[in-house]
Homo-oligomer: A and B are copies of this chain.
Amino acid sequence: MVADGPEIPAPPWRKQRAGRRRDASRRPLSRELIVDTAIGVLDAEGMDAITMRRIAQELGTGPASLYAHVANKDELLEDVLDRIAAEVALPEPDPARWQEQLKEVAREIRAMYRRHGDIARASLGKIPTSPNVLRIAECELALMRAGGVPPKIAGLAVDRFAQMIDADCIEGTVLAGKSPEGQDPHEFYAAFVPQVRAYFEALPAERFPNIVAMAGELTGGDDDDRFEFGLDIMVRGIASYAEGRPPAG
């Protein structure tokens, strides 16, 4: 019988499992820490970089560990969305300026989305239920109600309003995502537009008379111009339903 003496080395084929090497420097995993990390990755490298593996790696662990705190990736993105929605500054309603205030809120949301990669993709189509997102909707409703927009119209408008902003921000990142590795997406876009314009102008005029004639108008204007225009016609349309006011025009 072998003496029950000093430690025998572990058989080398069963590789030692390194134990739970929790660095004291590392905060324990939590939902908040995971969301924080996700936002960090998002800001630095965009939404496509948000993967369970990447976040886990950033936290010095494996992807499986995250699932103890977050049900799935969708839920994580929802949390990310709520967190950054808190950054949107909202105005105090001034009934005389409700249309301009509505536009200001839209610009705030857009600026927030642009600060945080292309996270807008995670917003489109989702029914808002998280507090910070509801806070924005509440403000929009208050502005429209103050402006005399009927409840039914206002209710539908918040939905369409959010959709428009989401779509604009997504659109802005689709082309940018196609820019070759490392090149500035803005430059890439600026270099791409003239090509499209030339293409439109070279189309057969008998089939596409208006596109050929309006190639300049179709390709002119940058992201901001297009957003402002969409905002403008939408607010005009909403305002046309406001009670006791002449339609804007």
Contact = CB atoms under 8 A, between A and B. Distances in A.
A76 B158 CA distance: 35
A118 to B, nearest CB: 10
A199 interface: yes
A159 B172 CA distance: 12
Contact of A240 (B152, B168, B170, B236): B236
Given A156-B221, A171-B125, A141 B214 contact: yes
A142 B240 contact: no
B138 A226 contact: no
A138 B167 CA distance: 22
Counting every copy of the chain, the complex holds 2
Do most interface residues of chain A lie in helix, strand or loop, or is the interface mixed?
helix
Contacts of A159: 218, 226
Contacts of A152: 217, 220
Interface size class of A (residues with CB under 8 A): 35 or more
Contacts of A125: 170-175
Interface stretch (A21-29, A35-43, A126-134): A126-134
Contacts of A164: 163-164, 167
18 contacts: A125-B175, A127-B175, A129-B199, A134-B211, A135-B208, A138-B209, A138-B210, A141-B214, A151-B214, A156-B221, A156-B229, A157-B233, A160-B230, A164-B167, A167-B167, A234-B237, A237-B237, A247-B248
Given A126-B175, A233-B236, 4 more contacts: A134-B203, A156-B217, A233-B240, A240-B249
Interface of A: 124-127, 129, 134-135, 137-138, 141-142, 145, 151-160, 163-164, 166-168, 170-175, 196, 199, 203, 207-211, 213-214, 216-218, 220-221, 225-226, 229-230, 232-238, 240-241, 247-249
3 cross-chain pairs, A with B, having the tightest CB-CB distances, nearest first: A233-B237, A125-B174, A155-B217
